[in-house]
Amino acid sequence: MKHPKGHNSMPPETNQQEQPEAVEKREEEFLPGKVSVTGKEITFLVLIIIFVSLLVVLILARDKTTIITVGDRAPEFQLPALGGSPVSLSDYRGKVVMVHFWATWCPPCVEELPVLESLYQTLKSEGLEILAISIDKGEGSIVSTFMKRYGLTFPVLLDPEASVSSSYGTFKLPETYIVDRQGVVAYKAIGSREWTVPVNVNIVRNIIDKR
């Protein structure tokens, strides 16, 4: 049988051998580890690692900080009074005590303390006690001068190392904790308050009346 003219009876060669250069190039494309990392990318990765490490440290440190709030038992403390004798919170057990953290260099504190004095004069006969804890540095001469200038009569305790304020988790002055007769925080105020307005007087009076 004759084949038509011009028809090649042999099938075309479909698997031609690739050139060595092409094979080598293709192998390089799929070789693992052939990644080019610039100095900027390495620096960026190092910065990310440092940032994450610092964030973890801050979170752990925050978890270790106790922030006292309503319903918690008020931490016990003993501090020197402005006159020199030590005073403990437990000395007032069975009474309603307003534990107030402040400093002479704190403008909101300076504005609030005379208001606290008015509240104290109004409710001390009903059973309110105030322990104003100053975190001013030094031996207390600045605090003493301040108290005389504003005519403040409630007891002032000195916490120059802020150890007691730290045990309460105080982070913004002034801060006030009203401790009930069982030694539990019944009310907490962050920042200054107008303690002589009726609504606030009633808050304190209700805690005093609760037996």
Active-site entry in 74, 109, 116, 186:
109
Residue-wise pLDDT tens digits, 68-85: 999 999 999 999 999 879
Residue 136 phi, psi dihedral angles, 5° rounding: -60, 145
Residue-wise pLDDT tens digits, 142-197: 999 999 999 999 999 999 999 999 999 998 999 999 999 999 999 999 999 999 99
In contact, 109 and 193? CB cutoff 8 Å: no
Domains of the chain, by residue range, sit at: 35-64, 78-209
In contact, 131 and 102? CB cutoff 8 Å: no
Please enumerate in sequence order all residues whose Cβ is within 8 A of that of 141, keeping only pairs 6 or more positions apart, or say none: none
In contact, 203 and 187? CB cutoff 8 Å: yes
Question: What's the CA gap between 106 and 108, in Å, rounded?
Answer: 6
Answer yes or no: 106 catalytic: no
pLDDT band (50, 70, 90) for residue 211: confident
Q: In CATH terms, is domain 78-209 a member of 3.40.50.2300?
A: no
Considering only CA atoms, which of 101, 86, 87, 211 is closest in space to residue 167?
A: 101
Please enumerate in sequence order all residues whose Cβ is within 8 A of that of 118, keeping only pairs 6 or more positions apart, or say none: 195, 196
pLDDT at position 56, please?
Answer: 61
Find where tokens 């305790």 sit. 157
From residue 34, alpha-carbon distances to 1, 20, 27, 64, 117 in Å are 59, 20, 11, 46, 76
DSSP state of 50: H
pLDDT at position 160, please?
Answer: 95
pTM of the predicted protein model = 0.70
Residue-wise pLDDT tens digits, 42-61: 887 887 888 777 666 555 44
